[in-house]
């Protein structure tokens, strides 16, 4: 449950002398064939893999947008901003030349290639202990698995590359790898990571066993392997994570690294020429609310009104401008430089684990345990516990709680796709909300288009149907 300060742009890094915080700054890009010859250089390469999570195409903008905007949780207030990049996601007019779609593909593969380099080279480093080497291998396998999990959920079949690429022609002309094979590789990486990673770390930011257990649980849940998912999710609570009693504290920038967060991507304002922050606050704030705000990915009035009386999450998670426009309180202003936001992006927290467990129990008709874990989420925010007696009632209530609990965290669209509700929910959403008369979702929209630039570069990479 530790975090990391990492650069957005640095490929290799210099570590600070702090014993409990990995604080890094960009140095210069190294030629990999002449680098990674000792433990210090390997550590720099490892941090560059963490760094890739902060890229636009990963958790700075793409994952929160791709995980929310196509859903009923958020909308694009000003679709014309940024060449309709975000508006296309809101109205399902997504084009293969969409720049965010292109960044998601590119930036994940940058991180994967860097992880592959480390995994290829680390066994040849003379001045690294076996214990440290094993931990670092676990980190790299986790991060590679996480990036492939995001790729396969966004695009479906994707090229599976599990070794260092020294010649791009080695993969030219090869088709996309089937989803099932990609998932097998993800599971293998995560299983190995779980065995190698420590439960805690003295250095904030390193991936730990809890993150690998949780993402493995989500990977298996996504594939409807409910019993298998529970075997991993059940191990997490005993590692020391806790639900915060005050939900206002979860995303408080003065309370980072709190007990509920299992893994998140860190951003920090005011460092390194204002290059360590995120642009998410600027991009995802209502137009005119702060200088340069773009009005993308705002919570809908529909989700704002869905919270029941007494639910403390509404005031904690969503605010209203003077004009009544909802905005996310999970992103806050941390600097006068608006594009240098210091809010972290949460990838996994204990509330997510509990609701995944509730869903797995419900799918297996274990209503007692499904109610138990569902009520952990309800009662901590002032909502009365429930005792739902059927699988369908439980699954509907769990879906509702996931929507309210994780608004803006990049889960809703993937939840709708995973549960088979995307087309029906979004069709109803468009019918019930003014302004969507031209919007229409089709089954092929469950996957995003492959970036046109990839197809232009290698004709063996075929486009998803419908685009």
Helix (H) or strand (E) holding 345: strand 345-349
Lowest-confidence segment of 139-143, 216-220, 339-343, 357-361 by average pLDDT: 339-343
pLDDT category of residue 170 using cuts at 50, 70 and 90: confident
Write a three-state SS string for 133-160: HHHHHHHHHHHHHHHHHHHHHHHCCECC
% of the chain with per-residue pLDDT over 70: 93
In this predicted structure, the answer to whether residue 19 has a pLDDT above a threshold of 70 is no
- Give me the half-sphere count of Cα atoms (radius 13 Å) on the Cβ side of residue 246: 5
Could you tell me if 376 and 356 are in contact, meaning their C-beta atoms sit under 8 angstroms apart? no
Handedness of CA 142, 202, 238, 385 (dihedral sign): negative
Helix (H) or strand (E) holding 396: helix 391-405
In this predicted structure, the answer to whether residue 32 has a pLDDT above a threshold of 90 is no
Could you tell me if 24 and 7 are in contact, meaning their C-beta atoms sit under 8 angstroms apart? yes
Could you tell me if 117 and 164 are in contact, meaning their C-beta atoms sit under 8 angstroms apart? yes
Q: Which residues 6+ apart lie within 8 Å of 456 measured at CB?
A: none
> Please, where are the H alpha helices in 178-225?
179-196, 209-222
In this predicted structure, the answer to whether residue 381 has a pLDDT above a threshold of 80 is yes
CA distances from 399 to 244, 409, 434 (A): 21, 15, 24
Higher pLDDT, 35 or 286: 286
pTM for this prediction:
0.93
Instruction: Single out the residue of 421, 376, 408, 397 nearest to residue 308, CA to CA.
Output: 397
d(CA 40, CA 211): 25
pLDDT category of residue 26 using cuts at 50, 70 and 90: very low
Q: Please give the pLDDT value at position 5.
A: 36
Mean pLDDT to the nearest integer, 387-406: 98
pLDDT category of residue 413 using cuts at 50, 70 and 90: very high
Helix (H) or strand (E) holding 229: helix 226-233
Instruction: Single out the residue of 266, 249, 267 nearest to residue 258, CA to CA.
Output: 249
pLDDT category of residue 25 using cuts at 50, 70 and 90: very low
- Residues comprising the chain, all counted: 467
Higher pLDDT, 167 or 54: 54
Residue position matching structure tokens 């929910």: 425
Q: Which pairs with CB-CB distance under 8 Å and at least 24 residues apart come from 313-322? A: 313/247, 313/381, 313/404, 313/405, 316/247, 316/248, 316/250, 317/247, 317/251, 317/407, 317/408, 318/407, 321/286, 321/289
Rg of the chain in Å (alpha carbons) = 21
Which domains can be identified in the chain, with CATH numbers? 13-330+352-425 (1.25.40.390)
Taking all residues of the chain, what is their mean pLDDT, rounded to a whole number? 91
Residue position matching structure tokens 């639910």: 311
DSSP, collapsed to helix, strand or coil, labels residue 92 as: coil
Strand pairing partners for 110?
A: none
Strands (E), 209-305: 261-265, 298-299
Per-residue pLDDT tens over the stretch 74-124: 999 999 999 999 999 999 999 999 999 999 999 999 999 999 999 999 999
d(CA 117, CA 105): 19
């Amino acid at each position: 449950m530790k975090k990391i300060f990492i650069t957005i742009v640095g490929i290799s890094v210099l570590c600070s002398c702090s014993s409990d915080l990995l604080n890094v700054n960009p140095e210069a890009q190294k030629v990999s064939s002449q680098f990674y010859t000792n433990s210090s250089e390997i550590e720099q390469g490892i941090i560059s893999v963490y760094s890739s999570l902060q890229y636009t195409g990963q958790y700075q903008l793409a994952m929160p947008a791709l995980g929310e905007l196509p859903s009923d949780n958020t909308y694009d207030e000003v679709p014309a901003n940024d060449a309709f990049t975000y508006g296309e996601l809101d109205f399902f007019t997504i084009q293969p030349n969409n720049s965010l779609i292109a960044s998601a593909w590119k930036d994940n593969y940058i991180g994967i290639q860097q992880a592959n380099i480390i995994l290829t080279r680390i066994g040849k480093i003379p001045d690294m202990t076996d214990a440290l080497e094993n931990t670092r291998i676990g980190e790299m396998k986790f991060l590679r698995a996480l990036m492939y999990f995001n790729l396969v959920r966004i695009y479906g079949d994707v090229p599976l590359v599990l070794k260092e690429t020294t010649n791009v022609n080695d993969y030219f002309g090869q088709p996309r790898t089937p989803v099932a094979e990609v998932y097998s590789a993800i599971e293998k990486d995560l299983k190995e990571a779980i065995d190698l990673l420590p439960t805690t770390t003295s250095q904030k930011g390193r991936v730990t066993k809890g993150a690998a257990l949780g993402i493995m649980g989500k990977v298996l849940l996504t594939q409807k392997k409910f019993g298998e998912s529970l075997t991993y999710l059940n191990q997490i609570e005993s590692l020391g994570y806790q639900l915060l009693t005050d939900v206002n504290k979860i995303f408080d920038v003065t309370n980072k690294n709190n007990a509920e967060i299992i893994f998140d991507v860190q951003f920090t304002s005011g460092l390194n020429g204002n290059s360590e922050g995120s642009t998410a606050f600027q991009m995802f704030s209502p137009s005119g609310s702060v200088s340069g705000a773009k009005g993308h990915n705002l919570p809908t009035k529909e989700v704002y009104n869905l919270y029941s009386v007494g639910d403390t999450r509404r005031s904690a998670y969503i605010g209203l401008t003077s004009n009544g426009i909802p905005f996310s309180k999970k992103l806050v202003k941390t600097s006068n430089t608006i594009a240098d936001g210091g809010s972290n992006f949460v990838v996994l927290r204990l509330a997510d684990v509990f609701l995944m467990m509730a869903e797995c129990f419900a799918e297996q008709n274990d209503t007692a345990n499904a109610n138990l874990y569902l009520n952990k989420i309800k009662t901590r925010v002032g909502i009365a516990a429930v005792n739902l007696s059927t699988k369908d009632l439980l699954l509907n209530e769990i879906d509702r709680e996931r929507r309210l609990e994780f608004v803006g965290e990049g889960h809703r669209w993937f939840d709708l796709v995973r549960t088979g509700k995307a087309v029906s929910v979004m069709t109803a959403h468009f019918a019930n909300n003014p302004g969507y008369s031209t919007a229409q979702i089709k089954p092929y929209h469950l996957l995003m288009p492959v970036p046109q630039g990839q197809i232009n570069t290698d004709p063996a990479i075929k486009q998803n149907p419908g685009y």
